[in-house]
Amino acid sequence: MNLLPEDGIILKRLFASGDELIEPYEFHRVYSLSPGQIARTVHKLFDAKLIEQLEGKLRLTIDGKKWVTANKMAFYKINKIWKDIPAAYLGDRIEIDDVYLPEKINSITFIRRKR
């Protein structure tokens, strides 16, 4: 299962709650997840039979608890899209104590101020 950060947040909270029922609104209030994120994750986990809904509140199923226990490391390897830097933007690494010299700017008009 491909996990997004909000999936991990919801699964961790439900796992920590034991058999306590959690209102979906708590994920918005405590973790600032959008209603869309919450709904998408709840549908995804419900379809996978990892959570159950009782009286509008959520909790992990027995299979859900087993899955979370077996896949704990997946929560720490969640793909953080914002951390992936495209190769086109990567430059040479600068070592500690190296002198950094920016590339020479070809046009002097770039530096001049208009008066």
Q: What tens digit of pLDDT does each residue of 25-51 get? A: 999 999 999 999 999 999 999 999 999
Q: What is the DSSP string of 17-81?
A: TTT--B-THHHHHHH---HHHHHHHHHHHHHTTSEEEETTEEEE-HHHHHHHHHTGGGGGG---G
pLDDT, tens only, 44-100: 999 999 999 999 999 999 999 999 999 887 766 666 667 778 888 887 788 888 877
Is this prediction's pTM over 0.75?
Answer: no
Question: How many structural domains is the chain composed of?
Answer: 1
CATH, residue 27: 1.10.10.10
Range of the domain at 38: 5-83
Does residue 72 sit within a domain? yes
